[in-house]
Structure 1
Amino acid sequence: MDKNRHAHSTRNSRRINRNQHTGKKLAILSLFTSMFLLIGGGLYVTHAIQHDTKETAEEDENNDYQQKAAALVEKIRQAQKEEPIESTEFLETTNDIQTLLYNPAQTKSIPQFSTLKSELTAMIDTIKKDRANHAPRKIVGQLKMTKITEQLNRYQPFITTYTWEKNKQDWSKQTNTGKTSVVVNQKNNQRLTLTDLFTSEANLLAVQQIVQQKLLDDSLDGNAVIDGVLTMPKFSIQDTAFTYYPDKISLNLPDNPTGKKEVTLPYNEITGYINSEFVDPRSLQETPPVALDPNKKYISLTFDDGPNPKTTPKLLDILKDKGVNATFFMLGQNVVKNEAIVKRTAEEGHEVASHSYSHPQLTELSPERINEEVQNTDKAIYRAIGKLPTDFRPPYGAVTPEVAAIINKPIIQWSVDSQDWQSHNVDKIIQRVHDTEYNDAIILMHDIHPETVEAVPIVIDRLREEGYEIIPSKQLLGNKTKPMHMYYGSTDERPIQ
C-alpha cells in the first residue's frame, strides 16, 4: 500500500514539474513574441519615418533646383538686355537640356553674319551631343560684340554652359568662344582691312622689311635662308591674309625657306606704319617714338661709296671723338672686302644703309640687274652685321617708279651737296656746307676721299656753333620712312610717281 502511495506521489511530482516547465516555455515564448512585435513595429515605424524623410528631402531638393533654375534663366535674360546687340530669344527644351539662343535683331550690320551663325550653331550641337555628364544643362548661345576702340567692334560666337551640380546644389558655369572673329570698322560698317590698318601699300611694304629681318633673326642660320627671305613675294594690301588683335597683328606669309606660315608683330614695333585709330592705345605706349624738338635745329651727315680701308676708319675715329652718329650708304663690293669696318661702323651707333653693289646708274639697267645690285648688297651687309639695310640711296640719285618698286626700300636723297667728289679741297668742302646748310637738311659727303675726312671735324664744329644737333638720317626722318617714297628731309617727302 505504501508502495502504491509512493508511486502515485512520484507521478504527481513529475506532472507538476512538466506543467511548470511548459509554463516557463510559454512565458519565454510570449516574451520573445512581444519583443519581436515591438522590434518589428519599431523597424516599421523607423522605415516609414525614413521613407517620409527621404521623400521630403527629394521634394525640397527638387523645389530648390526649380527655384535656382528659374532664377538662372531670369539672370540670363537680364544680362542679355544689357548686351550692346539687340536680340530676340529662341528657347528650346529637350529632356534636361534647355537652350537659349539669342539672334541679333539686325543682321545686316554684322559682316559675315552667316559664317558666325553657322559656327555658333555647330558649337551648340557639339555641347548637346556631349553627354558624359547627364546632369541638367542650360546652353546660352549668342554673337557677342566687344568694343575694341572707338572705331572698332569685334563679333564672335560665344557659348555659356550652365550645368547642375547635384552635390553642390547649384549651377556651374563654362564659357567657349568661337574661332571665327570679325572685326568691324565702325566708320563704314565693313570688316577691318589692311588698308584700314596701314592706309597704303607703301606702309605695308615697310613692315615687310621688318618681317624679313625677324625671319632671319628667328632662323638658326640666316645666311642659309637669306636668298629665300629676300625673294619672298611682296605683301599685298588687298590679298595678304591677317589676324587682328588689339595689341598686335599676325600676317600670313607666302612660301619661304624658313617654313613659317605667319609672323606676329606687336604694334609698338611698327608704330610709324600703323593707323593708331584702330589699335589699343596702350599697345603703343611701351616704346613711344622720340619726336624731334620743334625748337631745335637738326641736320644729318651722310657718307657714300665706302667703306674704304684707309679713310673710313679715320672718319670713324673723328666721329667717335666728336660724339656724332652718321649714316653710311655703302657699296656691296666694298662691304665684302671690309667686313670688320662695317661691323665697327654699326657697333659705334652709325646707320649702315645701301648704295647698290657696284654703283651703276640703275635707271639704265634691266630689272634683273637692278635686283642683283640690291640683293647682293643686302646679303653682304647682313653677313657683316646680322642686319639688313632698310634705307637705300641710288647712285647719282637716279630713280624711277619702276626702279623704286624693285628696290623696295625708302629712297634717301640729299638736300645739301658738299661737292667733295668734285673739289677734293678741304676749304671748299667746308665752305660749301656752310653756304648751303639749313635746318632739316641731309648733307651728302663721301668717306672715300681723304680731303672729306680732313674737313669733317671742322664741319661738325661749325654746325654745332650754329646750333645744329647732328643725327643719322633715319632719326632725322622719324624712323618711319617707307618704300616708293624718297626723302630730302623730314618735311620733304615725295612719292615716287
Structure 2
Amino acid sequence: MNRKNHPRGTRNSRREKKQHRFSRKLTFAALFAISFILICGSVYATYAMQHPPKEASNLEDDDYQQKEIALLEQIRESQKQAKLENTEQEKTDGNVQTLLYEPTVTNSIPQFQALKVALTALIDTAQKNSPKETPLKLVGYIKIIKANEQVIGYQPVVESYTWNQTNEEWTEQTEVSKDTAFVNQKTNQPLTLQDLFTSEANILAIQQVIQQKLLAESPDANTIIDNVLNMPSISLDQTAFTYYSDKISLGLPDNATGKKEITLSYKEIAGYVNPEYIDPDSIKDALPAPLDPNKKYISLTFDDGPNPETTPRLLNILKEKNVKATFFMLGQNVVKNEALVKRVADEGHEVASHSYSHPQLTGVDLQRVKDEVQKTDKAIYHAIGKLPTDFRPPYGAVNKDVATIIGKPIIQWSVDSQDWQSHNAQAIIKRIDETAYNDTIVLMHDIHPETVDAVATVIDRLRGEGYEILPSKELLGNKAKPLHMYYGSKDERPVQ
C-alpha cells in the first residue's frame, strides 16, 4: 500500500507548489501594476503642477496682445507711407498709449505752431471723451490735403483705437481739426482772401450775396433788413475765413443781426472767386455760357418807373414780343406801386435800382447817397422779396466814393434813345435805328407814353437787323461787379 500511495502524495505536492508559484506571480503582477499606476499618476501630477491648463482669461490676454501688436504695426506702417515725413513720440499713461507723429521738417509748414497746438487740443479732447478703464491708443499727426493744383492743406488728425472687450477687436474713430492751414503753393504762404477774390470789387459783390442770404434765412426778414443793409462790409485783409475746396465760411463783422459767420458755396459767388484756387466742379454750370461771338446782342433798359399808366402797357408789349428787359426803378415810385413791381419781376424782367428820388449823387453828401441806396433796396425787397443787385446812377453821375457806398455794379448805357428830350415815338425809333450797334445797352424811360408807343417797332426793327434782345445782367454774363461801370459786355471801366 505504501508503494501505491506514494506517487499520489508526490503529485499533490507538485500541484501545491505550482499553485503557490502562480499566486506569487499574480501578487507580483498586481503589485507591479499598482506601482506603475502610482508612478504614472505621480509623474502626471508633477507635470500638471508644472504645466497647469490655460484659463480663459489667459487665452484672452494672448489674443489681446497679438491684436495690439498687429495694430501698432499697422499704425507705424501707415505713418511710414504718409506724404509728410515724421518722427514718432510715444507716451504711455495707464491704459492710454499716445503715438504723436511730428513732421521732421517744420519750417516749410506755415502756421506750424498753431497746428501743433490744435493737434494737442484734439488729443486731449479724445482722451477726455474715452472710457478710463478701457485700453486706448491715440494716434496724432498732421495730414496733407491736396485741395487742388494750387492749394494744399495741413490738417491735424487724431485716430482713437479703443479695445472692445465684447468683440475682442479694436474700434477706430477719427477726429479732424477745423484749424486746417491751407497754403498757396505759388507763394508757399498761407492762403488769403486776396488769393481767392483778388479785389475789393469782388468782395463788395460777395457782400451783396451775404445780405440776400441773411434775409432769405431769416424767419422775419422785414425786422432785420435795416441791420442787414447797415452791416459793415467784409474785407480782404480783416475777415477770418475757413477754406474748403467747394465752399467758404466767412466771419462777419460785429453787427446787429447777431450773425457771426456765414457759409457760401462757390456756386453762389461763381463770378467773383478765383477759379485757380477752388475745385472746378464746384462752379460747373454756375455761370451762363459766353455769348455767341457770331451773333448780335442788345439790351433794352427803362428808367424812372414804375408808372401805373405806362408801365403795364409796356409790359403787355414785352410779353407779346417775348422780350425780357431791365427796369431801373426809383424807390419813391416802388413804394406806391408794389403790385406793379412784383408783376415786372414775375414776368421775368430784371428789377434794378435807380436811387430813391433821382438826385445827382455826386452833388450830395455821402450820407444822402447811402439813404438813397438803402431806401430803394428796402422798397424793392418789400415788393419782390429780393434786393436789387444792379444800379444806374441818375444822370450817369458817379465817382469812386459814391460807387463804394452803392456797392453794386454801375450799369450805364451806350445808346441813348433821347426819349426824355424828344417825347416823340418816331424820333425815338429813328434815334435807336441810327445809333444801335452790337453789344450795347439802350436807355429809355417807361414813364413816357411816347416811349411805350415806340417800343414794339423798336423791337421789330432790332430783330430785323439780327439782334437778340437780353436783360442787361444777362448781357454782362451775370458777373458784373461793384466799382465798375458797364456800357456793354465788352466795355467795362473802373469807376475813378
Q: Same fold (TM over 0.5)?
A: yes
Task: Check whether the contact 1:149–1:280 (CA below 8 A) recurs between aligned residues.
Answer: yes
Distance 1:127 1:272, change over 3 A: closer
Structure 2, unmatched stretches of 5+, are 1-37
SS of 1:174's partner is strand
Give distance in 1, aligned partners of 2:231 and 2:60. Answer: 67
C-alpha offsets along residues 81-118 of structure 1, whole Å, 9 cap, x if unaligned?
22111111223344543322111112122222111112
Q: 1:451: how far off?
A: 1.3
Distance 1:122 1:220, change over 3 A: closer
Task: Check whether the contact 2:416–2:442 (CA below 8 A) recurs between aligned residues.
Answer: yes
Instruction: Trace 1:94-493 onto structure 2 (pairs within 5 A).
Output: 94-128=93-127, 132-285=131-284, 287-493=286-492
Give distance in 2, aligned partners of 1:261 and 1:94. Answer: 40
Matched AA of 1:429: I
Give distance in 1, aligned partners of 2:465 and 2:192. Answer: 48
Matched AA of 1:75: Q
Task: Using structure 2 for the length normalisation, give the TM-score.
Answer: 0.86
SS of 2:238's partner is coil
Matched AA of 2:413: W
SS of 1:493's partner is strand
Give the length in aligned residue pairs. Answer: 458
Q: 1:240: how far off?
A: 1.4
Task: Using structure 1 for the length normalisation, give the TM-score.
Answer: 0.86
Matched AA of 2:194: T
Tell me the equivalent position of 2:54. Answer: 54
Matched AA of 1:378: D
Distance 1:124 1:402, change over 3 A: closer
Q: 1:291: how far off?
A: 2.7
Q: 1:139: how far off?
A: 2.0
Matched AA of 2:262: V
Q: 1:58: how far off?
A: 5.3
Give distance in 2, aligned partners of 1:221 and 1:430. Answer: 46
User: What fraction of aligned residue pairs are identical, expressed as a percent?
Assistant: 65
Which segment is superposed worse, 92-101 or 187-196?
92-101
Task: Check whether the contact 1:142–1:158 (CA below 8 A) recurs between aligned residues.
Answer: yes
SS of 1:52's partner is coil
C-alpha offsets along residues 39-74 of structure 1, whole Å, 9 cap, x if unaligned?
xx9xx97xx69982225x555544443333332222
C-alpha offsets along residues 149-171 of structure 1, whole Å, 9 cap, x if unaligned?
11111222111122333443332
Instruction: Trace 1:65-104 onto structure 2 (pairs within 5 A).
Output: 65-104=64-103
Structure 1, unmatched stretches of 5+, are 1-37
C-alpha offsets along residues 363-394 of structure 1, whole Å, 9 cap, x if unaligned?
11011111111111111111211111111111
Task: Check whether the contact 1:271–1:289 (CA below 8 A) recurs between aligned residues.
Answer: no
Distance 1:107 1:428, change over 3 A: same
Q: 1:130: how far off?
A: 6.0
SS of 1:272's partner is coil
Distance 1:122 1:315, change over 3 A: closer
C-alpha offsets along residues 234-282 of structure 1, whole Å, 9 cap, x if unaligned?
1111111222222211222233343222221111111101111222222
Q: 1:132: how far off?
A: 2.7
Q: 1:128: how far off?
A: 4.6
Distance 1:133 1:330, change over 3 A: same
C-alpha offsets along residues 125-157 of structure 1, whole Å, 9 cap, x if unaligned?
444566734333322110111111111112221
Distance 1:344 1:128, change over 3 A: closer
Q: 1:301: how far off?
A: 0.2
CA RMSD of the aligned region, Å? 2.6
Which segment is superposed worse, 357-366 or 468-477?
357-366
Give distance in 2, aligned partners of 1:136 and 1:223. Answer: 56
Give distance in 1, aligned partners of 2:129 and 2:303. Answer: 70
Give distance in 2, aligned partners of 1:128 and 1:262. Answer: 30
Task: Check whether the contact 2:95–2:132 (CA below 8 A) recurs between aligned residues.
Answer: no
SS of 2:468's partner is strand
Give distance in 2, aligned partners of 1:327 and 1:451. Answer: 18
Give distance in 1, aligned partners of 2:266 and 2:170. Answer: 41
Give distance in 1, aligned partners of 2:382 and 2:135. Answer: 65
Give distance in 2, aligned partners of 1:59 and 1:341. Answer: 85
Give distance in 2, aligned partners of 1:130 and 1:493. Answer: 57
Q: 1:485: how far off?
A: 0.7
Task: Check whether the contact 2:195–2:274 (CA below 8 A) recurs between aligned residues.
Answer: yes
Give distance in 1, aligned partners of 2:149 and 2:382. Answer: 45
